[in-house]
Every structure is written in C-alpha cells, then in structure tokens.
Chain A
C-alpha cells in the first residue's frame, strides 16, 4: 500500500485532490471553473501516469491551484466591473462591495448637484452630531482620565438641620474626614484636601496658582502615576513638609517641560519648596495647579470647620451601595457621639457618589438634551436626503426595472442602492469630520477661557470618531432603506411599459413622500419648541432684577501671602489700596469684600441670642460675607433699616453686622432685628442694619440669607479679598491703572479672577447660555431643512402632475383654485406632522423642565408661536411651487 498524504483523495489514482479542486472552484470565475478544472485534471492524469508518481502529481496540482488564486481573483474583479449585474448571488461580498462602490461613484458623477446637496446636508448633520457627542463624551460621559472611574468616589454630607442638601465641595471638616478614613472598610486610599491660592514666586513674573493642600497621596487614589517624579510620602504629609507637585500645564508653561526641575527648589509665597513631582495631563482637581501637603494635622481644626473634600476608591468587593450603607452607620455613630454639641448632626447623612457624577451632574441634563436634539437634527437630515433619493428613484425606476428584468435579484439591487446611500453618508462624514474638527477646536478654545473650569476635555478622540462612523453607516442605511425598498417593488413590466406616464408606482411614492414631510414637520416642531422654551427662559432671566446695579462694576481678587502679611497688616493693605484706587479718575466708589454676588460660598450657622438652640426645625444659617463700609454703596445695595458699619466700629468696639432682608424676614418674623444679637462660633455680634435683598446665588434662584461682617473688625482673618470698583465708564479700561497701584504697594502681589459683576452673572449662567445658543441653532437648521423638504416634495409633485393640472385648468379651474388645491394637498401632511410634533414637544418640555426658568415645559405661548412660525414657513414653502403650477399654460401642459 502506497503512502497517501492528507491532501490526496482516496480511490482512483487519477482523481485530483478534492480539497484543491474545491479551492479552485471557489476562486475561479464561474466561466473558467469547469475548463480550468478539466485542464488540470487532464494534466494531472499525465503526471500520475508518468514515472514521477501520484505524490508528485498531487503536489503539482496543489501548487497550480494555489498559484492560480491571485490571478483568478484579479480576473474575477475585472469581470464583475465590466458587467455589474451578471454576477450570480452569493459571490464574495468584498467583490460585490467594490463593484457597488464603483457603481455608486458613477451614479453620483452623473447627478452632481444631487450628490453635492446630499453630501453637504449630511456633512452638516454628521458634523453637528459629532461635535455634540464630543462635548457630551468629554464633559459628561468620560470627563476624567482616571482608570475605573466608577470606583473613584467623593463623599459629601447633607445637613437637614441647616437646610443643606448633599454637596461635595468644601463641605467636610477634618474630624469628619478622619471619621470616614478610620471607620470605613468599603472605602480605601481615602484622601482629603483643602483649596486655596498660592503665588509661584519663581522666575520673573509672580503667578497666582489655585492650590490643593493634601492629607494623603492623591495619585494612588486617582489611579494615575505622576508624569515626572513622585507623589507625597506619608512622612511628608505627617510633618507637613515644604514639598510641592505642579500640574502638567504649569510644568510646560513655566519650566518648558524640563524633567530635571524635579528635585529643584521653587519659591511659593516667597518660601522655598522642593518640587517632587508633576501631575499627568488633565489631572487638575477643580483646577488646582499646585499641590502641597496640608501643613498641620486634622486634629488642629474644630469639628465644624468644614472646608475639605474627600476622595477615595471603593475597596475590592465593595459597591457604591455597600459604601453608602456603611457611611450611614458612620454618620449615626458621629451623631450619637457629637450630636449634643453640634446640633447640625441631627439627621445628617454622609453620601458617597462617583467623582464623575459629582462633577458632571450640572452638565448632564443639558448635555443629554442637546445630544437628543442633535439626534433629531440628524434624523431630519436623513429624512430630507431620503426624500431626495425617493424623488430621484422615480427617474431611476426604468434603470432598476431593466436590471431586475435581466435577472438581478431584488436583494442584490437593494444592497446596491444601500451601498450608494452609505457611500453618500461616507462622503458626508468626511465633510462632517472636518466640520467637527473645526467645531471641537473652537469649543476647546472657548472652554479654556471660561473663568470657572469645566471638567473634561473636548476632542475628536477615537471614541468620538467611532461613534461618528456608526452614525454614518446607520444614517446611510436609514435614509437609503425606504427609497431602496420602494424602488425595487416587484412591478417590472408595469414600469417598463408605462415608464413615461409616471402614473404607475407613483401613488405609493407620494404616500411615502407625504409621510416624510409629516416626519420632518414633527421633528422640526419638537426642536423649535425646545429652542423656544430655552430662549423664553433666557429672556426672562435677563429681565430678573439682581437687586443692585450690576453695570460698570469690576472685581478682582488679591490673596496676601500670610508669610508677609498678618492680622492688622492685611486690613491696612486693603484700606490703603482702596484709598489709592478711589482717587483714580473715573472711579466712582471702591469697596473690599470676601465675595460678591453671585456667590457660591459656604453657609455658616449662627444662633440668635435669647432664643433656645432650636431642636425642632432648621438651625439659622446664612452666607457670611466680610465687607468694607463702602460695599453697599459701591454695589448699589439699598439700606432698609438701621445703619451700615462705619469708622467708629473698630477692633476695640463691639462686633457689628448687617443682615439682608431675606434673613430678617426668615429669622426675625414680626420683630425688628436691628439691636438684636447673634452668635457665630464663640463671638457675639450685634445686628445694626438690614439691607435690600440681592440675587446672591444667581439670577435663577431665590436669594438666600446673608450676613455682612465688617472687614475692619475681622482682625485680618481673611487674607483673600476682592477689590470691587464702580466706574463711570467701561470698567475694564481702568485695569492698567489699578494694576499700577497694586504694584506700587507690593511688586510681588498678583491680582486674579478679574471680571465685571455682569460677567460673573453671565458665567454663572454659562451652561444655560451655551445650551440655549446651540439648541436655537439646531432649531433654525431644522426649520430650514423642513422648509427645503416641503418645497422639494411639493415642487416635485407639481412637476409630475403638470398634465393633470393643465387638464383641470382646461376644464375651467381658476388659477387661485389651482393654488389652493396644491397648497391644501401639501398642508395635509404638515398638519399631521404638527400634531405628532406637538406631543413630542410637550414630552421634551417635561424632560427639559430642569433647564427652564419661570417657563412651564408645556408653555402654550411658546409652543403656539413656534407652531405658527413652522406653519407659515410650510405655507411659504408650498406656495412657491403652487404659484408656478397656477401659471401653467393649459395647452402646453396637456401636450407635454
């Protein structure tokens, strides 16, 4: 028995190896398959018959088949290109794809205007979607570059006794951090930090840097290693060593990205610190550019000095739920232990949440609404292009019918048409990515200029581009499917026979076109209503009276270095600066304050003398602002009762405060607060006046109680104050002069957070403003798309029915009757779409209610107006072709 290898068939020796034959027939053109196999079989037989034997013959056969593979495929591709429809089904999909793409390119070249219109519309749609997705991806979905973001959590308290809901920034005391750190088993790598400002005095220009003061090494918690150097060592934290870590951007800007700076000494507030590390890019926690160990331990602080935040990792096996259950136990334990001394602990809660959720919640609703809106725009674009394709498919019906008659399967043709539409979408996507690139770059630049840092980064990353690719393919199929299925209705003979009369199959198409119009109107109405509601809110917000004169007021912050200014020196510095700036020409009034509206700072609790510490209900609390005497005059806040502090109130005289009207009404109902005394911490303070209420937490929220203490009596407690300047004209024009005065007093003193009070209000409403602007743009785009869509469908149907219209006119129809007839026909789907859109608009309004201000989500005026606008646009879009129809010459129309 002769050895027979696996690649040789058993049985007759002259039978070629079957596997090789199979491979040959797979690769070869159908016409060549048989003869080629025959040739090889014949030659194989002669090889076998010769003295070289079967084994060699088999090897020869295999070599032939393998070496034929490439030429076979090449000749197959060439053949399929020559004759698109003669390929039998089930051929290699790659070949079919190449062939379909070629065909699509030819079709597009034949009708360039159509292709250009479709590609531009799609490009704008895909581009806008990609931009919005990149924003949502960068800010809401993946804002932080930390691994396992779902396990990085922050902890914040809720104090029902203070009327304070859960918050996470500057809310926990060092003692509470220790409670969590030592007692929690579900949280690990728990770190806490305080935030402040330090001046980098290294190099020529002093620079103010927002800084974090840490207990613990943040890098293991965040899950990222330092870009250069190391994190803080435990002993550096315990001792409060003078070591520092800087952000990546400061490293690049100040030290040109030089790795050798690690280990060097840098000057911070004039003191030497050793630079031990550089954060990786985008690690900024609340925009802190400089990290240092907290110089003292947690035990130094009072239990209710709450200015820290906590970051931790969920321990292995723990979940957010189990961590929260444990935090609840810790809170109860603290309440039992300290509740008597600190009544705010009654019913307090500790809540853990993911770092991402904590920081993006304010953007999430706006982001998701915008994403939904842009999805609608994209859908509208698809419907529009589908409508165009459908109109064109009428012209291609004969071509398709011929191909079906020649034996092309319906699936094959649908596939060809879908390839065409996806190719269109692909070209649109190329344009879209260009648009999106431009958009994201501009947005990122815009974001960098915001005074309040927004987490995350906007960029066209791989994830965004992946989504754009999916959007492209899905939209290509979406807008291509209906026309493709419609175009391949099995009605070949009818089309071939009656191609010219344009009656066969068109009723069907008209139904589909009207459905498209209805869908476009519905989508446009939803978008218009969303835009309208936001614009309406925005107008109302602009009309809100802030309670003071916010125009022409410039504010800037100065943080005096504790190393050089202490106690009275701080008060004296600001007093002198106020006098110098006040004497500048163009300055009306100058004040100093720890904050100005709109403020975001923490509430302090206080007790009212003569009243028992409340055990029921809320404890009195208010924003505490340190202000100079001229604060109220400078901002234009009216005095209602009593007086404001004056120069007779000094460090030697009893402490005095002024409260705002809201505090007076809430905490002193039915009595005069002037003359009453309150306790804050261990100090007793007399209320000497009541001032008018200012929108102190933003225009869109009710004013909160506020207590104003006197800077003069603060003993330099606050080294970080705003200089507030009311000017006669454009406030920023005075900035150079003010800078000169500051430099004259202290050349190393930076000023920062320079903004007008108006700008502060504007940036407080930044996300709202951005959302309003974008949604309005989408709504306008939607309106244009809907108008173009309606116009296209109506003018197409008019041109198709020229003969019918001519006939009507020949039989006596008036021009006005023709116009009415055409417009009425066009308006039917508009009305249906409008009704559907109305339902959608009300649903959207409900979703958006969190973004609205003093406007109901189903505000009848807004929805009524946008519906009217849409109706007018639809009328105009159908009137133009209707008028053309009414001007037809009946004789010409019938003859044609």
Chain B
C-alpha cells in the first residue's frame, strides 16, 4: 500500500520541512520553515491537518513536550520523520525526476 502512495505537494513540503528541522520540528517551526523557503503563506491549521495525516500514514511521529510560559502554558508537539516518511520522500523525488528528465520547459522560445 505505501508503495503506491505518492505524496501530495503540500505533504511533501511539510514532510521536507520536518526533515530539515531535525528533531526540532513542531507546528510553528514547520510553518515558518515553509514560509521562509518558499515565500508562500501557510496557515497553522493546514500544517496540522497535514501532520495529522502524515502521522496516520506512519511517516512522522510526534511526542508532546513540556509546556512553556511563552506559549501561555500550553504543551508543544514535536515531530520527527519516520523511516517510512523518508522512503516516501525518496520515492516521490524519484518519480518526479523521472518525469522531469529530458523535458525542456525552461527555454523561452515561443515568445516574440
């Protein structure tokens, strides 16, 4: 089943962000990482919806951290990429690379 699972675009972004952040990924840092690197505004709700889905698929795991004062006494949920998630990322990159291979979209030929 996971073999046939191709990651959606936003799933890829979130999973890659978690991977980049190492053990330090949580909702806010993931959101910021995506915004910083892609320049794309992302809502916290979308991030968590995707993280929940990835967790259900077994691609990420989460643990609850200690509450802090700056968070209004609320707990933090840390996310780490699981081996399954790594495989899914690699598979997706392979598929995309195969599709991009020898395709030249970059040349601006047709313009007057």
Contacts and interface: CB of A to CB of B under 8 A. Distances in A.
A32 B48 contact: yes
B28 interface: yes
A67 B43 contact: yes
A69 B45 CA distance: 7
Given A39-B44, A82-B56, A72 B70 contact: no
A75 B43 contact: no
Interface stretch (B1-9, B16-24, B73-81, B86-94): B73-81
B74 A38 contact: yes
A356 B56 CA distance: 65
A63 B43 CA distance: 8
Nearest to A76: B49
Interface stretch (A40-48, A254-262, A605-613): A40-48
Given A34-B75, A35-B27, A38-B74, A78 B53 contact: yes
Contacts of A38: 67, 71-72, 74-76
Contacts of A31: 52
Nearest to B74: A38
Nearest to B73: A38
A186 B78 CA distance: 83
Count class of interface residues, chain B: 20 to 34
A68 B46 contact: yes
A92 to B, nearest CB: 16
Contact of B71 (A29, A32, A41): A41
A375 B71 CA distance: 62
A189 to B, nearest CB: 65
Contact of B52 (A32, A34, A42): A32
Given A28-B45, A69-B45, A72-B45, A39 B27 contact: yes
B52 A37 contact: no
Contacts of B49: 71-72, 74-75
A36 B70 contact: no
Contacts of A79: 52
Contacts of A75: 45, 48-49, 52-53
Contacts, number: 89
B35 to A, nearest CB: 11
A64 interface: yes
Contacts of B53: 75, 78
A33 to B, nearest CB: 9
Contacts of B74: 34-35, 37-38, 41
A28 B71 contact: no
Contacts of B46: 67-68, 71
Contact of B44 (A34, A36, A74, A82): A36
A35 B45 contact: no
Interface in B50-106: 50, 52-53, 56, 64, 67-68, 70-72, 74-77
Interface residues of A, number: 33
B26 A35 contact: yes
B6 to A, nearest CB: 18
A74 B45 CA distance: 10
B32 to A, nearest CB: 8
Given A37-B74, A41-B72, A29 B52 contact: yes
A42 B41 CA distance: 18
B27 A36 contact: yes
Interface string A3-41: 000000000001110000000000111011011111111
A70 interface: yes
Contacts of A69: 45
Given A42-B28, A43-B28, A36 B52 contact: no
Contact of A42 (B50, B64, B70): B70
A65 B48 CA distance: 12
A777 B68 CA distance: 75
A854 B45 CA distance: 78
Most chain A CB neighbours (cut-off 10 Å) among B49, B52, B74, B77: B49
Contacts of A35: 26-27, 48, 64, 74-77
Most chain A CB neighbours (cut-off 10 Å) among B32, B44, B48, B49: B44
A36 to B, nearest CB: 6
B70 A28 contact: no
Contacts of B67: 38
Nearest to A75: B49
A822 B53 CA distance: 57
A214 B85 CA distance: 88
Contacts of A42: 28, 68, 70-71
B70 A45 contact: yes
Nearest to B67: A38
Contacts of B72: 15-16, 37-38, 41
A16 B53 CA distance: 28
Contacts of A71: 43, 45-46, 48-50
Contacts of B26: 35, 39
B79 to A, nearest CB: 10
Contacts of B28: 39-40, 42-43
Contacts of B31: 39, 43
A85 B45 CA distance: 24
Most chain B CB neighbours (cut-off 10 Å) among A14, A15, A16, A39: A39
A31 B52 CA distance: 10
Contacts of B44: 36, 39-40, 64, 68
B34 to A, nearest CB: 13
Nearest to A66: B43
Contacts of A40: 28, 44
A29 B71 CA distance: 19
A34 B26 CA distance: 13
A36 B48 contact: yes
Contacts of A34: 74-75
Contacts of A43: 28, 31-32
Nearest to A67: B43
Nearest to B78: A35
Contacts of A32: 48, 52
A63 B35 CA distance: 15
Contacts of A27: 45
Interface string A803-830: 0000000000000000000000000000
A70 B31 CA distance: 17
Most chain A CB neighbours (cut-off 10 Å) among B28, B32, B41, B68: B28
B43 A28 contact: no
A74 B75 CA distance: 23
A522 to B, nearest CB: 53
B27 A68 contact: no
A70 B45 CA distance: 8
A585 to B, nearest CB: 87
A143 B44 CA distance: 60
B66 to A, nearest CB: 11
A40 B44 CA distance: 8
B33 to A, nearest CB: 12
23 contacts: A28-B45, A32-B48, A32-B52, A34-B74, A34-B75, A35-B26, A36-B27, A39-B28, A39-B44, A39-B76, A40-B28, A42-B71, A43-B28, A43-B32, A64-B44, A67-B43, A68-B46, A68-B48, A71-B45, A71-B50, A75-B52, A75-B53, A78-B53
Given A35-B48, A41-B72, 9 more contacts: A15-B72, A29-B52, A35-B74, A38-B76, A39-B27, A39-B31, A39-B44, A75-B45, A75-B53
Going nearest first, the 6 A-B pairs with the smallest beta carbon separation are: A68-B45, A38-B74, A75-B49, A67-B43, A38-B71, A39-B28
